[in-house]
Amino acid sequence: MSQEPPYVVEDCRGAVQLMSDGTIRRSAEPAAVFLMDIPDGDLGVEWRDVTYDPEHDLNARLYKPWHLGAANDARLPVLAYFHGGGFCIGSGRWPCFHAWCLRLASELPAIVLSFDYRLAPEHRLPAAQEDGAKAMSWLRSTAASDPWLANAADLSRVFVAGDSAGGNITHHVAARFGKTGLGPTVRLRGYVLLMPAMAGETRTRAELECQPDAFLTTEMSDMYARLILPDGATRDYPAINPAGPEAPGLEAVAMGPMLVVAAEHDILRDRNAHYVKRMKEEWGKEVELVEFADEQHDFFAVDPWSEHTDELVRLVRKFVVDHMDTE
């Protein structure tokens, strides 16, 4: 009797598939929705790739504006960045995230370090959050001595940012390192969470009212949860629900200021708002919430050249400028 061939059990935007026999098929190409053309000239930014974790073959893409500022020897703030993709797909090398980081490096301006991390289902949570910590340790130990960065990066003005899954990693970096956890030479000035990935056992209104044509649907979020959570964990697992009932309190952690960006038509909108409320009212953190009207999840990655993306770049730039020298 012939054996039934394996079939697809879970499909993440065609980029990774879990098969019925437990094998995983991962495409070498980006998900089609994230493919786009990058303008010629790279926006006055040079970039190169490095391996920051040889053990797991994890790479970072480093961005540096050609002209550092009014003075040729002026150093720029550093923005460590983590891409989105539901913890299952994505890379800083994908065109959408590359375009976004080019814009940030050019328009803030800043030295941008775009870090990859291990992906599920091959590596379930908290692997991604652990890699976020490794990336920050690499920044501390390597960036100051790297000849390509040493004369450009001001490590006393470091910001951490990310979108979706990367926004979640940013939270965990903030919770782990606070303001001074990277030592006296690296100062973490603030954090930018763009529609950070969060889940929970109790449905929110945004999840219940999700439209079937949404960029991120409730069904897709549930699929990601099945692929990323460790055995026995629920959607209240603290790695994915950092403001949920099982999450540890953060009262004692001295964090820098935080900017959280939500989108009106994103299923994560209510969770992002609850996160901000708990961070401010229960844990006493300095957090600003900005919601973009009439936008979907990760709108800036889908179209890095839209008017709302222009507005988002200005918002991030203002946050960085306002907090570069705060104590």
**pLDDT tens per residue across all 327 residues of the chain:** 567 899 999 999 999 999 999 999 999 999 988 888 776 566 899 999 999 999 999 999 999 998 765 444 589 999 999 999 999 999 999 999 999 999 999 999 999 999 999 999 999 999 999 999 999 999 999 987 898 998 899 999 999 999 999 999 999 999 999 887 898 889 999 999 999 999 999 999 999 999 999 999 999 999 999 999 999 999 999 999 999 999 999 999 999 999 999 999 999 999 999 999 999 999 999 999 999 999 999 999 999 999 999 999 999 999 999 999 876
Identify the active-site residue in 91, 106, 114, 164.
164
pTM as predicted: 0.96
Q: What angle do CA 281, 217, 167 make, to 5 degrees?
A: 45
Identify the active-site residue in 171, 265, 297, 323.
297
Q: Is 297 a catalytic residue?
A: yes
Identify the active-site residue in 53, 116, 163, 266.
266
Per-residue CA distances from 233 to 73, 227, 228, 246, 252 (Å): 50, 11, 10, 11, 26
Q: Which two tokens stand for residue 290?
A: 């900005």
User: What is the distance between the alpha carbons of residues 34 and 103, in angstroms, rounded to a whole number?
Assistant: 16
Q: What sign results for the dihedral spanned by CA atoms 239, 240, 244, 246?
A: negative
Among 240, 259, 42, 67, smallest CA distance to 159 is for 259
Burial class (CB in 10 A: 0-12, 13-18, 19+), 128: buried
pLDDT given for residue 81 in this prediction: 98
Q: Is 266 a catalytic residue?
A: yes
Q: Which two tokens stand for residue 195?
A: 């529609």
Site of tokens 């890699």: 131
Buried b (16+ CB within 10 A) or exposed e, 194-216: bbbbbbbeeebebbeebeeebbb
Strands of the sheet containing 8-12, edge to edge, are 8-12, 16-19, 24-26
pLDDT given for residue 69 in this prediction: 52
Among 160, 235, 226, smallest CA distance to 194 is for 160
